[in-house]
Structure 1
């Protein structure tokens, strides 16, 4: 016989309640910082090619991983990544006059794909706090 499933409770499957207001504000701030980093990185990677691309990707990685460590959740990396993605997608569209910010070239594609790869890595590497205060392995 297997052990019975835990009771999901009234809020859903094992939810402890809504996140605190401070954490929601932190996610909002991280989203806005992701927008800013997306715009700044888009300008920097095209203006100063090899160094600007590396600096832009390092800045995005620092923000994503820093958000995960600051909030101690993976959502702390996803919030700035979502802001970064919104900014970059809006900047890739061309205007009716033919103006655009991203040129077709290696640098632009490396920034787009590299930023997505950095976001995925930081979201999966983010430290998640184990339930309880026991530092031992689970199931021991």
Structure 2
């Protein structure tokens, strides 16, 4: 078999325990950010909506920067989705945390769009550093 065969199949390794703890922490922080954003966005309408979306974007990009991978953006985005969609969507008593206004829909759709954008633009597998020369 050629050199190509050795490059194709490599076994997956389990991530270190510290990385798993970081992912769980980012997931929980994403849920808290989503719940806080759900409360703030309706309270001070244009400013609260911008504050909530900027907080979510900062968390998504900060997680990606801290862990150096796209998973660092996906973990808080998943927590945000759990916090916003599942926990605030509705309860058996019929209470809703979101109003029927346009700000709520902008918060939901804007947060989802930010999650996708931040996970897509997050750092890939390129080496980082001043001494790295790509294309050599």
TM-score scaled to structure 2, two decimals?
0.87
CA distance in 1, matches of 2:48, 2:32: 16
- 1:75 to partner: Cα distance: 0.2
Q: Which runs of 5+ in 2 are unaligned?
A: none
**Aligned partner of 1:130 among 123, 126, 130:** 126
For the Cα contact (< 8 Å) 1:91–1:101, is it kept in 2?
no
Contact 1:66–1:77 (Cα < 8 Å) also in 2: yes
State the distance in 2 between where 1:25 and 1:44 align. Answer: 28
Residue aligned with 1:118, SS:
helix
How far the C-alpha of 1:48 sits from its partner, in A, is: 1.2
Tell me the secondary structure at the aligned position of residue 4 of structure 1.
Answer: helix
Following the alignment from structure 2 to structure 1, what is the Cα–Cα distance between the partners of residues 96 and 106?
Answer: 17
SS at match of 1:128: coil
State how far apart, in whole Å, the 1-side matches of 2:89 and 2:18 are.
Answer: 34
Question: Match of 1:29, SS?
Answer: helix
- Size of the aligned set, in residue pairs, is 133
Tell me which residue corresponds to 1:82: 78
* Shift in Å, 1:87: 0.8
Question: Match of 1:99?
Answer: 95
Greater displacement, 35-44 / 118-127 = 118-127
Structure with the higher helix share, 1 or 2: 2
Partner of 1:51: 47
Q: Could you tell me how far apart the structure 2 residues matched to 1:91 and 1:104 are?
A: 17
Measured on the aligned residues, the alpha-carbon RMSD in Å equals 2.1
Structure 1 runs not aligned, ≥5 long: none
Normalised by the size of structure 1, how large is the TM-score? 0.85
Query: Structure 2 vs 1, CA of residues 65 and 98 (structure 1 numbering), >3 Å: closer, same or farther?
Result: same
Cα distance between partner residues in 2 of 1:106 and 1:22: 41
